[in-house]
Amino acid sequence: MSDLRIEDAKRRADERVSEAAPSLIALSERLHANPETAWQEHQAAAWVATALEDAGFAVQRAYLGFATAILAEYGTGPLKIGIMAEYDALPGLGHACGHNLIAASAVGAGLALLPLAEELGVTVRVYGTPAEEGGGGKIELIEAGAFADLDLAIMVHPAPVDVAEARPFAVSHSHITYEGVSAHAAAYPDEGVNANDAFLIAQLALGLLRQQLPADTRVHGIQTVGGFAPNAIPEHTEGRWYVRANTLEELHRLEERVNRCFEAGALASGSTLRIEPESKPYAEFRTDEQALAAYTANAIARGRVFADPSTAGRMNRASTDMGNVSQLVPAIHPYIGVDSLPFANHQKEFAAACVGPAAERALVDASVLIAWTVIDVASAAASASRSDGLGEG
C-alpha cells in the first residue's frame, strides 16, 4: 500500500469515527450509568453486540459458552486483528477504570475498519471480554480456544495521562478463609478458636514481610468477614488478597512467602486455613514493538502528548489479563489520558472523569488510533509479503 493510499485509508477511518461519535459517546455513557461487575455484564455485552451487529458485523453472543463474552467479525483477509472490549466495572466504584471507554472505543475502531477490511486484507474481530477486574475473563477465553490465530491483539485503556507502553505486573488473586470455633466471649472464651485472630496475625506477618520484599513487588488485600457478634468468638473469617511481581516465575516464588504468613495465622490461633484462587494468575505483558511504534507515531500525529516518564504516574504497572493474551499473540495495550489528575484509576473521581469532554475526546482518539495502527500494521505486512515474493524463484 502506497503512502498516499495509507493516508487515504486513515482519512476515511477518521471520518467514519467522526460520523459515529455521537452514538459511541452515547454507548459509553450508557455503560457508565449502568455498571456491571465481573461475569455479570449482561446489559453491556448486549449493547456492544447490538452496536456491532447494526454496523454489519457477524456477532456470536455467549461466545465459547461464556454468557457475557462476544465475538464480532467482519472480513476474510489473511491478517487477523483482535480488538479487545472490556466492560466490567469495579464493585462499589462503578467504572472507575474506564472500561466504558474501552468498550466504546473498540466498537468505534471496528466501525472505522469495517469498510477498509477488504482493501487492507484483514479480518477484523472485536472481542467482548468479561471479568478483567479480578475474574480473568481473557484467560478463560484463551483456555477455551480464543485468540490463538491473531496476528495482533490491541486495546487502549483510559488513564490520567497518555502512556504508550504497558508494563503490568503478573498477579494472583486469592480468597482466604479461616475456620475456628465459636464460643461466648465472656462466659467461655477458652472454649473458642478465634478465626479473626488468625487474620490479624497473618496481616501483622505480611506487614513485617514487606520490609524484605523487592521494591517492584506488591502484596495487598482486604478482610471481608471478621465475625458476626462482639460477644461471640469469631469462628469464620474471610479475605481477598493479591500478590504482584514482574513475572509469573517471580510471582510463584513470592506467593510461597506470602502463604507462609497466612499459615502462621492458622498455626498461632489453632484455626484451619483455606487458600483458594479466585482466577488463574495474570501474566506480565509482552509488547509488540512494531505495533507500539506505529501507535506512538499515530498518537503524536493525532495531537496526543505522552507524559514525561517522571510525571506519568504508574498506571501502566497495573495488572491485566491482557498480559496472558500478549504471551500468546503479538499485542499492545497503550494508555490514553482523560485529564483526571490528581485522581487516578480505581478512585471515584476517576470514574467521574470517564464521562465528559476529555473522556469523549479520548474515546474518539482511541477509536481512530486503533484503526490507524491496524492500517499501518496491515500495510507493513503487505509490504513484507511482497518482498518475500520477490525473493522466491
CATH for 164:
3.40.630.10
Decide if 45 contacts 130 (C-beta within 8 A): yes
Instruction: Check whether residue 213 and residue 272 sit in a common domain.
Output: yes
Expressed as residue numbers, the domain containing 223 is 170-277
Q: What is the CATH number of the domain that holds 206?
A: 3.30.70.360
Instruction: Check whether residue 27 and residue 55 sit in a common domain.
Output: yes
Residues 172-196, mean pLDDT to the nearest whole number: 94
Instruction: Check whether residue 153 and residue 231 sit in a common domain.
Output: no
CA distance 357 to 338: 9
Instruction: Check whether residue 180 and residue 161 sit in a common domain.
Output: no
Please tell me the least confidently modeled range out of 11-20, 42-51, 212-221, 353-362. Answer: 212-221
Instruction: Check whether residue 271 and residue 311 sit in a common domain.
Output: no
Last residue of a domain, one of 277, 297, 328: 277
- At residue 392 the predicted structure's pLDDT band, cuts being 50, 70 and 90, is very low
State how far the alpha carbon of 117 is from the alpha carbons of 102, 113, 151, 154, 191, in Å.
Answer: 21, 6, 15, 16, 71
User: In the predicted model, what is the mean pLDDT of the chain?
Assistant: 93
Using the 8-state DSSP alphabet, how is residue 8 labeled? H
- Predicted confidence (pLDDT) per residue in 248-260, tens digit: 999 999 999 999 9
Instruction: Check whether residue 28 and residue 153 sit in a common domain.
Output: yes
Q: Residue 167 has what pLDDT? A: 86
Instruction: Check whether residue 18 and residue 116 sit in a common domain.
Output: yes
Written as one string, the DSSP assignment of 224-261 is EE--S-TTB---EEEEEEEEEESSHHHHHHHHHHHHHH
Instruction: Check whether residue 154 and residue 180 sit in a common domain.
Output: no
Last residue of a domain, one of 234, 251, 277: 277
10 Å Cβ neighbour count for 254?
22
Instruction: Check whether residue 240 and residue 154 sit in a common domain.
Output: no
Instruction: Check whether residue 59 and residue 86 sit in a common domain.
Output: yes
- Predicted confidence (pLDDT) per residue in 41-89, tens digit: 999 999 999 999 999 999 999 999 999 999 999 999 999 999 999 999 9
Q: Residue 363 has what pLDDT? A: 98
Q: Residue 393 has what pLDDT? A: 42
CA distance 196 to 199: 5
Instruction: Check whether residue 20 and residue 135 sit in a common domain.
Output: yes
Q: Domains in the chain: how many in total?
A: 2
Q: Provide, rounded to the nearest whole percent, the portion of the chain with pLDDT above 70.
A: 95
Q: Assess whether pLDDT exceeds 60 at residue 198.
A: yes
Last residue of a domain, one of 277, 309, 344: 277
Instruction: Check whether residue 26 and residue 126 sit in a common domain.
Output: yes
